[in-house]
Amino acid sequence: MAAVLQCLRGQFTASALYRYVFFVCVTFWGLIFLAWLGYPEENKYSIMTHTFSFLGSYEMKHSPEWWWLFSVAMVFWAVAGMPLVLHIHRHFTYLSTWGARAGAGLLLLGCVNIGLVGIFPDAKTPLGPNLQVTDVHEKVAILAAAGFIFGILLHGLLLLKDRFLSSNSQFEHRPFIPLYAFWLTILCTASYFLIKWEYVYAARKTAAQAAGTSIGSSWSEAMNTIYSFPLWENILIYTLFIFLVSLSLLLVKAGPAPDPE
């Protein structure tokens, strides 16, 4: 029991962390895989046309029977991710007390809202006169993304500050370079294509109007192209999960060893 409580507080030994991360990865992605298997074949789930959240939508056009597996997976990510955030915080405290707290706060904001993404599925069930479940889903998804993205960036800035301004660093900075390069490359590439699409679609719409022909919505026209929002949303979620797990593991060898609390 003591060992379990230590893990919940983010006080992992190296071997305990490896086992915990393995458990988290197998459980989360196992549930997502089952949610994908349960998605009706006739609804043709594809990352080119379907957002990650569609796996957890109980609408008839999505997954009316097995949608709850996605919800369980997202709530699991939220809960299981918190000890990893505390683990990260304990290491980054050596760089900056306030920075580590702010970074942990942002990552915890991401965890809480990623759980709410599962609790409020992407479905049009009314919650009030002008409010649907999908409206709440979209807002908490944005908050989750903001929490994780700004949290990751802040931790990166703390590492840069330590690398160039600290005279007594306890971090080995080199292992973090490929991890951040990987994540930033995906983030910037996704941003580039999604922003560019706004201009591409505007030009196509203008051309269609001039020719007197019809054109679909921005969402539908981007489907099955490099500009597809579902494509980049799926990739960014995969990348985010990989980053958070990898950062936790890297800190075992590349970060200082926090004293037991």
User: Considering only CA atoms, which of 3, 1, 2, 10 is closest in space to residue 258?
Assistant: 10
User: Considering only CA atoms, which of 126, 128, 141 is closest in space to residue 56?
Assistant: 141
* Amino acid sitting at position 13: T
pLDDT at 138 exceeding the cut of 80: yes
Tokens, residue 204 = 């196509």
Task: Give the span between the Cα atoms of 171 and 100, in whole angstroms.
Answer: 14
pLDDT at 208 exceeding the cut of 80: yes
Its pTM stands at: 0.93
Q: What is the pLDDT of residues 61-78, one digit of tens each?
A: 999 999 999 999 999 999
Structure confidence at residue 170 as a pLDDT band (50, 70, 90): confident
pLDDT at 257: 59
pLDDT at 7: 76
Tokens, residue 245 = 């797990």
pLDDT at 253: 83
pLDDT at 259: 55
The mean predicted confidence, pLDDT, of the chain is 94
- Return all residues near 48 (Cβ < 8 A) that are at least 6 apart: 223, 224, 228, 230, 231
Q: What is the pLDDT of residues 190-203, one digit of tens each?
A: 999 999 999 999 99
pLDDT at 22: 97
Task: Give the span between the Cα atoms of 249 and 137, in whole angstroms.
Answer: 31
pLDDT at 19 exceeding the cut of 80: yes
pLDDT at 258: 61
pLDDT at 256 exceeding the cut of 90: no
Mean pLDDT of 201-208: 95
Structure confidence at residue 222 as a pLDDT band (50, 70, 90): very high
DSSP assignment string, 183-229: HHHHHHHHHHHHHHHHHHHHHHHHHHHHHT-----HHHHHTTSTT-H
Least confident span in 31-40, 121-130, 229-238: 121-130
Cβ atoms of residues 57 and 69 within 8 Å: no
**Cα-only R_g, the chain:** 21
pLDDT at 188: 98
User: Considering only CA atoms, which of 57, 24, 19 is closest in space to residue 38?
Assistant: 57
**44: region left, alpha or beta (phi > 0 left; psi from -120 to 50 alpha):** left
Structure confidence at residue 151 as a pLDDT band (50, 70, 90): very high
User: Considering only CA atoms, which of 20, 15, 144, 152 is closest in space to residue 83?
Assistant: 20
